[in-house]
Amino acid sequence: MMTIELSFLGILVGTMSGFFGIGGGTVTVPLLLVLGFGIKEAIGISVMQMVAGSLMAAWIHQKNKTYGIGDVKYFGFGGVVGAVIGAMLVKALDTSFLEWLFLGIVAFTLGRLAFSNPVPTRAEVVNRPLYSAIGGGIGIFSGMLGVGGSILLTPILVSFMGFPLKKASAVALFYVMFTSLSAFITMVSLGLINFHAGIIMAVTSLIGIRLGIWLVDKTKITHYKQILILFYTLIFSITAYKLIAG
């Protein structure tokens, strides 16, 4: 019976990942907890799904020539380094401060996204060292707070780097591939992966990924921006509530 529930959850999360350009952990982990999994087990399953989903999305977007991996891979390289630094800083910095700082950055970038043009009015910035720096900065938050980082990357690419909105979402999901692979390898070494549940989630999420990317292609850019802002606002509100409620 759990197989059926995990399969439906995989398709749902995969669809959201493909459409919004996110890893999906913010949705997967709470729902797995409802199904009776422990928090560490839920995180492990979520990470395994993110690896499979982001790899599938990267293959589809490469096939569709949504972006060129030659340049955007530097976001990922920076993200891996940043995640390691973030993990090392966890014990040195106050977690509450980091959470509020993260929330503030999300609020700022969300505001920029809301007032940005989904079709860029300036040339796209192509700068590999800058890509690595941005990826590294976001990676630090990923390592410290256990988030994929795509919710920060998409608004930054649109607002400051001249990326078209749909391309930015695709690149953000590509970025998740690097952070999730790093987390997956670490969790396997620690024995924290439930491979049975993880494989079910991973395989079925591939169906959702294809569906989500197909939906992006069929959605008008102005409508896509409105849906994305609503989704980001929801995530921001939930995060703020958790911090305020303690």
Q: What is the pLDDT of residues 102-155, one digit of tens each?
A: 778 778 777 877 887 777 778 899 999 999 999 999 888 777 765 667 878 888
Q: Name the residue with higher pLDDT: 131 or 235.
A: 131
Q: Tell me the two tokens of residue 142.
A: 């990923």
Q: Tell me the two tokens of residue 77.
A: 């390289």
Q: What is the pLDDT of residues 10-43, one digit of tens each?
A: 999 999 999 998 887 777 887 888 888 887 788 8
Place of tokens 């966890």: 90
Q: What is the pLDDT of residue 192?
A: 80
Mean pLDDT of the chain: 85
Beta-carbon contacts of residue 14 (< 8 Å; ≥ 6 apart): 24, 49, 53, 204, 205, 206, 207, 208, 209, 211, 212
Q: Where residue 191 falls among pLDDT bands split at 50, 70, 90?
A: confident
149 conformational bin, left if phi > 0, alpha if psi -120 to 50, beta if neither? left
Flag whether pLDDT at 222 surpasses 80: yes
* Element holding 229 (H helix, E strand): helix 221-245
Among the listed residues 133, 142, 139, 131, the one whose alpha carbon sits nearest the alpha carbon of residue 74: 131
Share of the chain above pLDDT 90, in %: 35
Q: What is the pTM of this model?
A: 0.83
Cα–Cα distance measured from residue 85 to residue 179, given in angstroms and rounded to the nearest whole number: 13
